[in-house]
Amino acid sequence: MKTVLLADAEANSVIPLEFLMKREGWRVLVARDGIEALDTARREHPDLLLMDVVMPGRSGFEVLQALRADEACATTKCLLLSARCGETDVAQGLGLGADAYVAKPFSTRELAERVRQLLS
């Protein structure tokens, strides 16, 4: 079974995402800030990190940069979710090694499809 790590400080975002990912049949782990996301990713080696860009502790960009620099986690798929979706933000996320960047608000159907593509 594939594992998805959800990293977002907002419970209003985590709860529906967790439900969606479990409904798709994936094991779901949750981190409430960037520090917890990085620690959990290093410990659990999820197949996909689904992460908000704006988080306390460390931003999604900082977590992504640390994962890509860590040989044990460098191949973890990463999908960034953010209301910050200007060209500069998207370019920065993809430049740091994100596999996908999805703007909030998003269609749950489209997000589930992107996750399926990344995990296939």
pLDDT tens by residue, 74-99: 999 999 999 888 899 999 999 999 99
pTM as predicted: 0.95
At residue 85, the pLDDT reads 82
Beta bridge partners of 18: none
Strands 3-7, 100-103: parallel, antiparallel or unpaired by DSSP?
unpaired
pLDDT of residue 97: 95
Query: What are 5-14's pLDDT values in tens digits?
Result: 999 999 888 9
Name the β-bridge partners of 4: 28, 48
Give the three-state DSSP class for 78: strand
**What class, spelled out in words, does domain 3-119 have in CATH?**
alpha beta
> CB 64: neighbour CB atoms within 10 A?
28
Element housing 80 (H / E): strand 77-82
CA distance 33 to 17: 16
Say how far apart CA 28 and CA 22 lie, in whole Å.
Answer: 7
What was the pLDDT predicted at 38?
A: 97
C-alpha torsion 49→53→54→59, nearest 10:
80
Q: What gap in Å lies between CA 52 and CA 41, rounded to an integer? A: 14
Q: What is the pLDDT of residue 86?
A: 85
The domain spans of the chain are 3-119
Q: In the chain, which stretches have pLDDT less than 70?
A: none
Please name every residue paired with 102 in a beta bridge, in sequence order, or none if there are none: 81
